[in-house]
């Protein structure tokens, strides 16, 4: 049996863990691209693990690479309808871990083994949560960058004399990190606006306002973009150490004479500059044009920013490289890998367009990088990175389970 799934990297740990006699499975992971695939996330359905290792439990396995190094792993269950009435470890969703494929490395082997005792707790490299400390932000991050979006409390009118901030937007924010450890809790604990100054860990220097920010969606009628309000509900489905997954819903809005609502599932893996987003829309027509957008003027005031922008039809992507006066340069990108790209723009946003049917997921990518915290120092380097990641999405790794 062959299973095809997602991508990522491995964080090697060197300490011994004893496996039970012959209670192991072997995985061969392969791909066909001639590029490096750093931080490739390898995804194995738990049904395959449970078949090869009956009764395996998420706390009592170890994943090793070909050198015998122990790899951080995560077992997800984003489908809570799965049950395990016999308590045999059958209710999980997927086993995920990471490996960095060097250029020219087309395959790698791994073992999954039962162990006595309890598996180690791996440091989280992804994280997300609801933020009641600042009204009702939802923030998430990996070891490369962070994001946030805004809930209904921020959109609510300000009581007289309260000084409460009011912002109505379904745009998505970026936080640029210089450190690999989690910063969401640390930055919110510093107090609002402190994270707009780089104190050594990075900063929030991205301007969202009422634009699409990085990766917000809307309905395009051919001339105008119709957008919703702040998210209405949130739900965390998985939360590290390798992958964070959550959903937000948006209440019905006017999509140009059509009532539209949206459920957005966002997945962010360790070691990657890009989020994967799956948006499902409900509306009463056979088809609409959905736009994924990026703010045309994303830098803070006073930065005298120059924005180099490009539409890349081959990658179905809109890219930016933003030169700033004092905060460094950064790149952004949105892409719809599965579609033939069409592009549009309004006064404030550059857009990638796709035809969508009600209930049909729209899969897209959104990513960013800061020259002070990454290897990307120019538009050319960023454009190559976007093209490589889109190519990886279009050509997922293959996972062969030995003996199945």
Cα gap 174→204, rounded to integer Å: 7
pLDDT digits (tens, 9 = 90+) for 192-214: 668 889 999 999 999 999 999 99
For residue 204, give the nearest of 370, 402, 388 by alpha carbon. 370
Is residue 141 domain-shared with residue 108, that is, in the same domain?
no
Domain that holds residue 9: 2-122+395-401
pLDDT digits (tens, 9 = 90+) for 250-298: 999 999 999 999 999 999 999 999 999 999 999 999 999 999 999 999 9
Cα gap 363→94, rounded to integer Å: 20
Is residue 326 domain-shared with residue 368, that is, in the same domain?
yes
Answer yes or no: is pLDDT of 10 > 60. Answer: no
pLDDT digits (tens, 9 = 90+) for 66-104: 999 999 999 998 876 667 777 666 678 999 999 999 999
- Report field, pTM of the whole predicted structure over 0.85: yes
Is residue 231 domain-shared with residue 131, that is, in the same domain?
yes
Answer yes or no: is pLDDT of 303 > 70. Answer: yes
The answer to the question of residue 383 being in a domain is no
Answer yes or no: is pLDDT of 15 > 60. Answer: no
What is the domain-level CATH number for residue 31? 2.60.40.1180
Is residue 79 domain-shared with residue 206, that is, in the same domain?
no
CB of 250 within 8 A of CB of 261?
A: yes
Cis upstream peptide for 241 (omega within 30°): yes
What is the domain-level CATH number for residue 312? 2.70.98
The answer to the question of residue 232 being in a domain is yes
């Amino acid at each position: 049996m062959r299973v095809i799934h997602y991508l990522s990297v491995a964080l090697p740990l060197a300490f011994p863990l004893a496996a039970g006699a012959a209670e192991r499975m072997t995985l061969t992971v392969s791909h066909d691209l001639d590029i490096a695939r750093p931080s490739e996330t390898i995804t194995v359905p738990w049904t395959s693990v449970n078949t090869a290792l009956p009764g395996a439990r998420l706390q009592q396995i170890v994943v090793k690479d070909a050198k015998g190094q122990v790899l951080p792993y995560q077992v997800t269950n984003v489908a809570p309808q799965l049950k395990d009435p016999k308590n045999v470890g059958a209710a999980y969703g997927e086993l995920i871990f990471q490996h960095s494929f060097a250029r020219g490395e087309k395959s790698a082997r791994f073992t999954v083994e039962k162990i006595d005792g309890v598996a180690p707790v791996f440091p989280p490299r992804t994280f997300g949560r609801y933020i009641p400390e600042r009204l009702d932000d939802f923030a998430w991050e990996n070891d490369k960058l962070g994001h946030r979006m805004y809930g209904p409390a921020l959109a609510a009118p300000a009581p007289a004399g309260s000084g409460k901030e009011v912002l109505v937007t379904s745009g998505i924010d970026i936080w640029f990190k210089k450190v690999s450890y989690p910063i969401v809790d640390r930055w919110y604990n510093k107090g609002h606006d402190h994270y707009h100054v780089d104190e050594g860990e990075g900063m929030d220097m991205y301007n969202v306002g009422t634009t699409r920010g990085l990766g917000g969606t809307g309905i395009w009628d051919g001339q105008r973009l119709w957008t919703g309000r702040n998210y209405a509900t949130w739900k965390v489905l998985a939360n590290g150490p390798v992958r964070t997954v959550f959903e937000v819903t948006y209440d019905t809005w006017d999509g140009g004479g059509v009532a539209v609502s949206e459920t957005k599932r966002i997945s962010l893996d360790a070691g990657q500059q890009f989020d994967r987003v799956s948006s499902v829309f409900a509306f009463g027509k056979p088809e609409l044009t959905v736009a994924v957008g990026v703010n045309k003027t994303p830098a803070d005031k006073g930065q005298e920013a120059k924005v180099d922008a490009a539409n890349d039809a081959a990658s179905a992507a809109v890219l930016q490289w933003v030169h700033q006066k004092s905060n460094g340069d950064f790149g952004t990108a949105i892409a719809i890998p599965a579609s033939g790209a069409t592009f549009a723009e309004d006064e404030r946003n550059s857009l990638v367009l796709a035809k969508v049917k009600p209930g049909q997921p729209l899969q897209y990518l959104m990513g960013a990088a800061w020259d002070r915290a990454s290897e990307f120092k120019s538009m050319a380097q960023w454009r190559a990175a976007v093209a490589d990641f889109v190519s990886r999405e279009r050509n997922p790794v293959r996972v062969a389970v030995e003996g199945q």
